[in-house]
A and B are shown apart, each in its own frame.
Chain A
Amino acid sequence: MPQCVHDSKLAQQELPACKPLLTPAWVIAMFILVAAAFVPIGAFALLASLNVVEIVDQYDNICIPDATTNDQRVKHIQNYQTDKSCMRVLKVLKDMKGPIHIFYQLEHFFQNHRRYVKSRSDQQLLKGHASNASLDGCKPENVFNNQVIVPCGLIAWSLFNDTFSFLVNNQSLSVNRNGISWKSDRDFKFGKNVFPSNFPNNYPAGPNGNVVGGAKLNEALPLSDNEDLIVWMRTAAFPKFRKPWGKIEHGLSAGDLITINITNVYNTYAFGGRKKLVISTTSWLGGKNCFLGIAYLTVGGFSIIWAVVFFILHYRSAR
C-alpha cells in the first residue's frame, strides 16, 4: 500500500450512510404533524394578541391650527414663538392591566436612511471624545461653531421632542420614564461621564440661520441617563416605528378618561409624516400583533389540506 494513502472510511468515501426517501407515508405524516403543532400555537398566539388592549391616537393633524396648506403647517411648526400645546382626551374602552406602555409612533420617518443611520459616533457617545475618523461619520452634524458637537451626528440632532403629560380622570398620572431604554445601552454604550456640549439645538436659531433639529439636551444630565436619547438612537428598520416613552405601572379600568397635554413641536409636516401616541398593554408575544397567530393558523390549515390531497393521490395511485 502506498504511504500517502490512508485506508480510512473517510478517505475511501465509505462512511455508513442513511438515505431517507420521500415516501408518501413520511411526507403525509410530516404535514399532519406540522398541522397538529401549528394550529394550537396559532390559537394561543392569536388569543394573546387579541387580549392586548391598545389605544392609538394620531395627533399631528389635530394638534395644529386648521391651516389650509402643508406649507403653512410647516411654517407654524418651525416658528418657535407659536403656542404648540395641545390637549387630547382618550377613553379607555377595556380594562387594562398594568404595566401599561406608552409609545410614540412615527410614520414615514426614514430612520433607516443610509446617511442618517451612519451619522453617529459610538466612540464619542461612550467616552465623550473620539478619533477624527469616528467623528467624520457624524457629518454633516459634527461641528458647530468650529467645535465638536457632543453628541454629534444627525440622529442625536433630530431627537424627537414632543412632550406628553397625563391625567387620568383629571388626576395626575405618574408615568415612569425610567427603564425604557436597554440596560446594556445605558451601561456600556452611553458614557456616564459624557455630558452634552456645544449641541446646536440648545442654541436658538440665530441670525446665521441655524436650523434647529429636534430636542435640546440638558448639559447637566450625562448621556447614560438621557433615556429618550438612548431610545431614539436605537434606529428603527422601517419608516413606521414605535419608540417607548414611558410606563404606567398600575392598570386602568374601562371608562377611564385619559387627558394628555402634548407639546407638538416635532416637525413631521415637512415630509408628510404622522405622529401617534400609543397606550398599550403587553402579552407574552409583545404588543398587539395578530400576524403570528393568523399565519400559524393558516399554515396549519394548509398543511391539513396538503396532507389530505397527498393521501388521496397516493390512495388512488396505489390502486
Chain B
Amino acid sequence: MSYRSTFAEGERAAFQALEMEKTEDWDDKRSRMRKRFVDINYGDRNLYPDIYCDNKISNTKYNVINFLPKNLWEQFSRFMNKYFLLIAILQLWPLITPVNPASTWGPLILIFAVSASKEAWDDYNRYKLDKQANERDVWVVKKGNKTRIKAQDIHVGDIVWLREDDEVPCDLVLLGSSDSQGFCFVETAAIDGEIDLKTRVVPPPCIGLPLDLLHKIKGVIECPLPDKDIRRFDANLRLLPPFIDTDYCPLTIDHTLLQSCYLRNTEWACGVAVYTGNETKLGMSKGLPAPKLTAVDGMIDKLTGAIFIFQLVVVLILGIAGDAWKSAEADKIWYVKHSKKAPWFDFFVIPLRFELLCSIMIPISIKVSLDFVKALYAKFIDWDLQMYDEKTDTPTVATNTAISEDLGQVEYILTDKTGTLTENVMIFKRCCIKGVCYGNSTGDALTDSALKRGLTEKNPDIVKFLTVMAVCNTVVPILSSNGAVSYKAQSQDEEALVNAAAQLRVVLLSKRGATSEVKLFGEIKEYEVLDLLEFTSDRKRMSVVIRDSDTRKLMLLSKGADEAIFPVLCSDQPVRAVADAVETYSKLGLRTMCFAWRELKEDEYTKWSFKFKDASSSVIEREWKMAEVCQLMEANLELLGVTAIEDKLQEGVPDTIETLRKAGINFWMLTGDKHATAVQIALSCNFVLPEPAGQLLHVQGSTQQEIAVSLERVLCTMQISSTEPKDVAFVIDGWALEIALKHHYEAFTELATLCRTAICCRVTPSQKAQLVELVKSWEFRTLAIGDGGNDVRMIQEAHVGVGISGREGLQAARASDFSIGKFRFLKRLILVHGRYSYNRTAFLSQYSIYKSLLICFIQIFIPVMVNVLDKDLSESTVLQHPQILYYCQGGRLLNPSTFAGWFGKSLFHATIVFLVTIHVYANEKSEIEELSIVALSGCIWLQAFVIALETNSFTVLQHIAIWGNLLAFYVVNFIVSMVPWGGMYTVMFRICTQPSYWLTMLLITFLGMGPVLALKYFRFIYRPSAINILQQLERSCLTPSSNLSSLESNLKQTDKDLQSPNLVQADVGNVYEPLLGDSASGSKRILGPSSVEFLPSTPQKMLSNYSRSKIQ
C-alpha cells in the first residue's frame, strides 16, 4: 500500500503527469551528479570527521558582521536613497553647501536606522525561532545507546528516534516503526500544505528488525546531493553484515520522513539522518522572499529619476551661465573680492552649488512621510472591524506594512481553490441507491425519513451501499479512550463518506492488519480485506476484495467516478436513473461518487489473486500491468448507487468574486484539484457564467501536438467570440500548461490576455508560482490568495500576497502580506483600503514634490532665500506632514501626466509668488530676511489652498490639518521672531504689521488659485470624468451625514459599473488601471462627453436621482 493508493484527488495527483517528462533529464543529470554516501550509525566522529553540516537550521538573512553592509546595500538599491546619499555627501563640502549638512544627514541617518532596525528585529526573531528549533531535544543512538541531544547536534548518519506527534528534525530514511508491517503515518502540511495523512514505509530489508538490532544497524545509503524536490528521493540502501546482506535496495520518497513533518498514529519510528540543517529538502526550498516594491513606489522612483534629470539640466544651464557671469563680472564687483588665483575645481563650484540648491526638489521628507502613512494604512486595515472574523477570532492583519496601495491597483487575482474559495469541509449530502434518491427533499440524506425507514427495515441494497461506504477506502479509524471513533483519511471525500456511514449506524470501528471491523446496526462484523486495487488517476476508481468473516463469502466493492464505473457494469444494469442523479447532483455543484459491487467465486479469486501478486511484484511497467489485472476483476459489477458530497463554499464567495470582477479585476483559479471539481466550483462561485452567457474553453491533450492543436482551436474560438460580449474562460491542466509554456509560449500568452478568467487545475505549487510570475511578466499587478503551505510560493511571488488563516494552518498567513479570516474580506480590502491607500499615496507623493518644487523654484528665482529657509524650513516642514495623513478621496492618481500637472502647478505658483513679491517688496523693502518670509508665506498660503481644493471630503481632521498648518506656520515664525539672538528676530512682527504684507498674501493666493480653480471647475462641469459624475450623484442621493466609508464603497461600486465596458478593450500594451477613478486614459476615453449614456447601467435608484438633480 503506497501512499498513492488513495482514492482521492488532492493536489498531488497533478504530479503524476509531470513525472514522465522529468525522468529523462533526471537520468541524464544523475549520471553527472555527484552523490552523497551516508554511513548509517557511524558512531565515532573523531575517527571520521563529518563532511556534512550539522543540523543547525538558519533562516536568518544577516549575521552580526554582514548586517550593516548587506542592509545598506539593499537600502541603497533604490534610486531615491542613492540620490539622498549623493546630496548628503555633496553637502559635506562647506564651500558649496548653502545649508547645514546636518539638516540632510539627520533625517537620512534616521530613516536608514529605522528601516535597518526593523530588519534587524525581524532577523532577530527569525534567529530566536531557529534557536528554539535547534535546541529542541531529540533521541539519537550514540554508541549503541539512545541518548538525548539537541536537534542541532544531529549529524548525517545518526539514527533518530521519534515518538507519536514528534516533529521530524531533519530528513530521515525510515529504518523501523512500531507497525509490524513497517508502516507509519506522517502529516506533511508544513511541506506541501496537504493536511491529510501520508503513509510512509520502512524499506524492505529493515522490516521487522528487533529493537536492539536497530541500535546497532550499519549500512550505507547512496543518495543524491541535497535538492529541493520534495517528491523525489532516488537512493539506494545497502545494509552491512551481520545484517541481511542483500543487494541494493532502492529507496523512494515513500521511505523518508522529511523535516518539519509530524509523525502521526504511529507509536514510534526511527530513521537515519540523510540531510541535515539547511540542506534538507525543506531547507533547500526555503528562501527569504525579496522585499516587495509597490507600483506606486516604482512610479515615484521613476518620477524621481525624471526630476533628477530635469535638475541636472537646470544645474547645467544655470551653472554654466553662472560660471560665464563670474568670469565676465567677478573682477568688476570689487566688493566681493574674488581671489585672482582660482583653484582647479573652481569651474565646478557654481554648478554643484546649484545642484545642492535644487536638491530639495526631491525632498527627503517624502520618504519619511510615505513610510509613515504606509504604516498608518496598515493600522487602518488592522483596526477594521468589518474585516474581523468573529467566529475564528481572526482580525485582518497587514503583515507587510509597505504595500497597501498596491491593493488598489490589482488587476489579476490568482486564487487557490481548496480552503480559499471552499471551506475545505466535505459533507455527505445526498445519495441515490438503486435508483431511489434520498435527500432531495430535505437537502440532507442523513435526515431523510425514507432512508431512515429503509435502515430500520434493513433494506439489503441500503445495507450493501453503506457497507461499501464504510469498507471500500483507505481511512484509518482511531479509537479514542472514551470509545469514540474518529477517522484520519488521505482524502476528505473518504472521510465524509465514512463519517456519514457511521451516522447511519454502519460504523467502521478499526482496521487491524487486513481485518476491518464494522459495527453494522449494533452488531460487530469483521471483513478480511484481501486485496486493495489502488486508485490511480487513469483508472479513476478503487476497489477492495473482502471476505465476510461469518459467511466466508468473497466480495469486490468498487467506487469511482461515474465515467469509470459505468463501463464496467453488467449489461442489464438500470444505469439510467443513477446517471440522471449524477447529472442532477453535478448541477448542484456536488461531487459525485458511484458505488458498485459483485460477489466473487472462490476459484475465480484464487486465479486472479495469483496474477495480481505477479503484477504487483513486477518491476517493469508495473502500473500498467496492475491496471490490466484490476480491469479483469472490475467487470460485470452491479451498480449500487451514487453519493453526492458537498464541497462547501466559503461565505460570500460568489458575491465577492462578482463584485471584484465588475471592478475590472481578472480572476485565475489555480488548484491542484482535478478538472471536474475545479470547473464545478468555478461555476458555483461566479467565476464563469453558465452557458450561454459564459463559455469554457478546454486546452487539453496528452502530447505536444494535441496540445498545440487544442491551443490553436481555443485561440480561434476566442478571437471569434471576443467580438460579442461573452464571458469566456479557459481551462487548462498542469500537464498541458507545462507544454504550453515550454513550446507555445506566444499562443498561450495571447490566450491568457484575451481571457479574463482562467482555471488551471492539477498544478503544482511551483507551477502556481510560475503562473504568477507569468502574469507579472505582462506588467500586470497581481494578487495571490491562498490558505495552505502549497500556496506559499505563489503568495511570495505575487505583488500582493494574501493568506487566509484557515484550516490548513497558518503557513500561508505567515508568508503573506495580508492575512484575512475569510475570502469575502478581500472585497473590502481591495475596494476600500486599497483604493484609499492608493489615492492617498498618489496624492501625498505628488503634493510633497509639488511643495518642494515650489520652494525650489522660488530659491532659484531668489537665490538668497536659502539662508532663511535653512533656519525656517525645518520647523515648518515637520509640521506640515500631519496634514497629509487625513487627506482622503482625492481621486487622484499617479502617472506621468498627473505629475506633469503638479509640476506645472508648482512652476506657475513659483512664478506668481516671485513676481508679486519682487514687485511689492521692491526698493526700500527689499531686505533679504523680510522678503524671504514674504515669499515663503506666499508659498505656504498657496499650499494650504491647493490641498483644500484637492480635498473632496472634509472631516474635522482635514480642517485641523489644513488650516491648523497655516496657523502653525505663523505661530512657529512668531516664536522664531522672538528669539533675540536668532537671525529672524522681530522680522515676522514687522511684516505682519504692514498692510502690504496681507494684501500681498491675498493677491498671491487668488492669483495662484483662481486659474487652478477655474480650470478644475471647467473640467468638472464640461469635461467630467466618471468620478465627477459620481460625486454629483452621490451628493444628490445621500445625506452629508452618512458615513464616509459607506459612501466610498457605494461610489466605488458604481464607479466600477461605469467602467466595466472599458475592460473588453484593455490589452497588454495599454496597462489598464482598474481602480483608478479619475483615470485620464481610462475613463475619459470611454465616458467623455457622452458619459450620461452609461448611467442606465447603474442602479435604478441612482438613475432617478440623477435625473432629478438635472431637473433642479
In the bound complex, residues from chain B placing their C-beta under 8 Å from that of A45 are 999
Expressed in whole angstroms, the Cα–Cα distance for A211 and B926 within the complex equals: 29
| CB-contact partner of A22 in B888, B918, B980, B1021, under 8 A | B1021
| CB-contact partner of B1043 in A6, A16, A188, A236, under 8 A | A16
**Beta-carbon contact of B395 and A4 below 8 Å:** yes
A235 at the interface (CB under 8 A from B): yes
B residues 374-392 in Cβ contact with A at 8 Å? 379-380, 382-386, 388
Most central of B333, B920, B1040 by chain A CB within 10 Å: B333
A residues 183-228 in Cβ contact with B at 8 Å? 184, 188-189, 211, 213-214
B440 at the interface (CB under 8 A from A): no
Contact flag A7-B385 (CB < 8 Å), given A13-B1044, A30-B1013? yes
Contact flag A15-B956 (CB < 8 Å), given A22-B1017, A34-B1006, A299-B1006? yes
Most central of B98, B888, B918, B1021 by chain A CB within 10 Å: B1021
**Beta-carbon contact of A270 and B332 below 8 Å:** yes
| CB-contact partner of B927 in A22, A109, A235, under 8 A | A235
B919 at the interface (CB under 8 A from A): yes
In the bound complex, residues from chain B placing their C-beta under 8 Å from that of A303 are 1006, 1010
**Beta-carbon contact of B986 and A184 below 8 Å:** yes
**Beta-carbon contact of A19 and B954 below 8 Å:** yes
Contact flag A237-B862 (CB < 8 Å), given A19-B953, A20-B954, A287-B924? yes
B residues 980-1039 in Cβ contact with A at 8 Å? 980-981, 983, 985-986, 990, 994-996, 999-1000, 1002-1003, 1006-1007, 1010, 1013-1014, 1016-1017, 1020-1022, 1031-1032, 1034-1035
In the bound complex, residues from chain A placing their C-beta under 8 Å from that of B955 are 15-18
**Beta-carbon contact of A286 and B996 below 8 Å:** yes
| CB-contact partner of A19 in B380, B393, B921, B1035, under 8 A | B1035
**Beta-carbon contact of B924 and A4 below 8 Å:** no
A166 at the interface (CB under 8 A from B): no
Expressed in whole angstroms, the Cα–Cα distance for A188 and B98 within the complex equals: 25
Measured CB to CB, the closest approach of chain A to B921, in angstroms, equals 8
| CB-contact partner of B995 in A7, A38, A285, under 8 A | A285
In the bound complex, residues from chain A placing their C-beta under 8 Å from that of B980 are 184, 188
Total contacts A-B at CB 8 Å: 216
**Beta-carbon contact of A285 and B953 below 8 Å:** no
**Beta-carbon contact of B1006 and A291 below 8 Å:** no
In the bound complex, residues from chain A placing their C-beta under 8 Å from that of B1013 are 22, 27, 30
Interface string of B934-975 (1 = CB under 8 A from A): 000000000000000000111111100000000000000000
**Beta-carbon contact of B385 and A21 below 8 Å:** no
Interface string of B304-338 (1 = CB under 8 A from A): 00000000000000000000000001001111111
**Beta-carbon contact of A11 and B380 below 8 Å:** yes
B864 at the interface (CB under 8 A from A): yes
**Beta-carbon contact of B996 and A113 below 8 Å:** no
In the bound complex, residues from chain A placing their C-beta under 8 Å from that of B925 are 286-287
Measured CB to CB, the closest approach of chain A to B977, in angstroms, equals 9
Contact flag A22-B926 (CB < 8 Å), given A17-B954, A189-B985, A237-B932? no
**Beta-carbon contact of A299 and B1010 below 8 Å:** yes
Closest B-chain residue to A141, C-beta based?
Answer: B337
Measured CB to CB, the closest approach of chain B to A54, in angstroms, equals 10
B863 at the interface (CB under 8 A from A): yes
In the bound complex, residues from chain B placing their C-beta under 8 Å from that of A22 are 1013, 1016-1017, 1020-1021
Contact flag A4-B954 (CB < 8 Å), given A240-B923, A295-B1003, A296-B999? no
A243 at the interface (CB under 8 A from B): yes
In the bound complex, residues from chain B placing their C-beta under 8 Å from that of A109 are 335
Closest B-chain residue to A123, C-beta based?
Answer: B981
Expressed in whole angstroms, the Cα–Cα distance for A314 and B1002 within the complex equals: 28
B residues 420-456 in Cβ contact with A at 8 Å? none
B1106 at the interface (CB under 8 A from A): no
Interface residues contributed by chain A, number (CB under 8 Å): 84
Expressed in whole angstroms, the Cα–Cα distance for A10 and B385 within the complex equals: 12
A2 at the interface (CB under 8 A from B): yes
B353 at the interface (CB under 8 A from A): yes
Closest B-chain residue to A272, C-beta based?
Answer: B332
**Beta-carbon contact of B918 and A238 below 8 Å:** yes
Measured CB to CB, the closest approach of chain A to B677, in angstroms, equals 35
**Beta-carbon contact of A235 and B928 below 8 Å:** yes
Measured CB to CB, the closest approach of chain B to A205, in angstroms, equals 13
A residues 97-141 in Cβ contact with B at 8 Å? 101, 103, 105, 109-110, 112-118, 122, 126, 140-141
Measured CB to CB, the closest approach of chain A to B382, in angstroms, equals 7
Contact flag A15-B1044 (CB < 8 Å), given A284-B995, A296-B999, A306-B1014? yes
**Beta-carbon contact of A154 and B335 below 8 Å:** yes
Measured CB to CB, the closest approach of chain A to B331, in angstroms, equals 9
**Beta-carbon contact of B926 and A2 below 8 Å:** no
Contact flag A19-B986 (CB < 8 Å), given A141-B337, A286-B994? no
A residues 1-47 in Cβ contact with B at 8 Å? 1-2, 4-7, 10-22, 24, 27, 30-31, 34, 38, 41, 45
Measured CB to CB, the closest approach of chain A to B1007, in angstroms, equals 6
Interface string of A131-157 (1 = CB under 8 A from B): 000000000110000000000001001
B residues 1036-1050 in Cβ contact with A at 8 Å? 1040-1041, 1043-1045
A177 at the interface (CB under 8 A from B): no
B732 at the interface (CB under 8 A from A): no
A317 at the interface (CB under 8 A from B): yes
B922 at the interface (CB under 8 A from A): yes
A residues 295-319 in Cβ contact with B at 8 Å? 295-296, 299, 302-303, 306, 310, 313-314, 317
**Beta-carbon contact of A238 and B985 below 8 Å:** no
Closest B-chain residue to A243, C-beta based?
Answer: B924
B931 at the interface (CB under 8 A from A): yes
Closest B-chain residue to A183, C-beta based?
Answer: B986
Measured CB to CB, the closest approach of chain B to A232, in angstroms, equals 11
B597 at the interface (CB under 8 A from A): no
Expressed in whole angstroms, the Cα–Cα distance for A186 and B333 within the complex equals: 29
In the bound complex, residues from chain A placing their C-beta under 8 Å from that of B1032 are 21
| CB-contact partner of A140 in B339, B388, B928, B981, under 8 A | B339
**Beta-carbon contact of A19 and B1003 below 8 Å:** no
Expressed in whole angstroms, the Cα–Cα distance for A4 and B333 within the complex equals: 67
A158 at the interface (CB under 8 A from B): yes
In the bound complex, residues from chain B placing their C-beta under 8 Å from that of A238 are 918, 922, 926
In the bound complex, residues from chain A placing their C-beta under 8 Å from that of B334 are 158, 211, 213, 267, 270-271
**Beta-carbon contact of A14 and B383 below 8 Å:** no
A289 at the interface (CB under 8 A from B): yes
A residues 47-65 in Cβ contact with B at 8 Å? none
Measured CB to CB, the closest approach of chain A to B699, in angstroms, equals 44
Measured CB to CB, the closest approach of chain B to A145, in angstroms, equals 17
Closest B-chain residue to A101, C-beta based?
Answer: B924
Closest A-chain residue to B833, C-beta based?
Answer: A13
A242 at the interface (CB under 8 A from B): yes
**Beta-carbon contact of B385 and A289 below 8 Å:** no
B160 at the interface (CB under 8 A from A): no
Measured CB to CB, the closest approach of chain A to B978, in angstroms, equals 11
| CB-contact partner of A237 in B926, B994, B1003, under 8 A | B926
Expressed in whole angstroms, the Cα–Cα distance for A115 and B339 within the complex equals: 12
**Beta-carbon contact of B333 and A234 below 8 Å:** no
In the bound complex, residues from chain B placing their C-beta under 8 Å from that of A4 are 382-383, 395
Contact flag A292-B1000 (CB < 8 Å), given A4-B382, A19-B953? yes
User: Which 9 residue pairs of A and B lie closest in terms of their CB atoms, listed nearest first?
Assistant: A158-B335, A15-B955, A11-B383, A291-B919, A242-B924, A17-B953, A184-B986, A271-B332, A112-B864
A-B contact pairs, 20 of them (CB 8 A): A5-B385, A14-B1044, A17-B1044, A24-B1021, A112-B928, A115-B338, A188-B980, A189-B985, A234-B927, A234-B928, A235-B927, A240-B923, A241-B923, A241-B924, A242-B926, A244-B924, A271-B329, A291-B920, A295-B1007, A299-B1007
**Chain B residues within 8 Å of A, Cβ to Cβ:** 98, 329, 332-339, 353, 379-380, 382-386, 388, 393, 395, 836, 862-864, 867, 888, 916, 918-929, 931-932, 952-958, 980-981, 983, 985-986, 990, 994-996, 999-1000, 1002-1003, 1006-1007, 1010, 1013-1014, 1016-1017, 1020-1022, 1031-1032, 1034-1035, 1040-1041, 1043-1045
